[in-house]
Amino acid sequence: MNKSNRTVALAAIAVASILVACAESPTGRKQFMLFSPDAGQMNKMGAVAFDDLKKKQKTNTDPALNRYVECVSNALLAVLPGDEGKGWEIKVFEDDTPNAFALPGKKIGVHTGILKVATTQSELATVIGHEIGHVEAHHSAERLSQQTAASGALAVAAIIAGTSDNTQQAVVMGALGAGVTYGVLMPFSRTQESEADTIGLRYMAQAGFNPDESVTLWQNMAAFSKDKPPEFLSTHPSDQTRMSALNRQLLAAEDTAQEAHAAGRRPNCKR
């Protein structure tokens, strides 16, 4: 990165830090932000990560499976406010790990392995809704802001300026949520994970999926991942903690789902 590009990129980050240091998530939680989610920086980095993933990982070509994943995803995206749900790219990756992800720039990736755990449309909606929740709450921007504040802005500036090396790219993409491919895994915090659960439950209920199956999904996950470390060793809430939190929100979510059904929102996604 030459001196001129570095100066411009760092200046942009400095301005962003003044303008966006105080933000608020969809649940009302105060967030520390050095990057404006609406300024295009995060979207550019998310698009770069997603394009690279498509080059490195095999995508699934089964039309029925892709239609199923798109049906669930599109039902969730339809309830996002304004134009937020428009223009998303959805890909199914051939990967046995039970995972899915969403990136800034309106990108959704679903591993074929998650379908061994999320066995119904509502269970899959729980997973995808959670991942969309991370994007809508700007968790990647928040996490990248924390990383930048802790270790300096040069790696992020290099990505923005399009002159990053492999090490810089790995760090930034790991912060975005693409760490499995780039080798630098930076998990979302427990607060962010719990918040994404809440937002995802809201979306799936508004879309007309069965909120009760959000708990079933984590029961399946607990059975599938018996050897996971205890909660205090992980940034992710334990499966039991997640189920307890979701159970406390089910009554309101069920009412929301009933309202969605009355309005004609009743997904019928089939594999």
213 catalytic? Reply is no
Angle in degrees, 0-180, between the axes of helices 139-151 and 121-136, rounded to the nearest 10 = 50
Catalytic residue among 123, 131, 142, 195: 131
Count of CB atoms situated within 10 Å of the CB of 213: 21
Range 158-162 contact pairs with CB under 8 angstroms and sequence separation of 24 or more: 158/1, 158/6, 158/9, 159/44, 159/45, 159/48, 160/9, 160/12, 160/13, 160/41, 160/44, 160/45, 161/1, 161/5, 161/6, 161/8, 161/9
Residue with tokens 């802005």: 153
- The catalytic site residues sit at 131
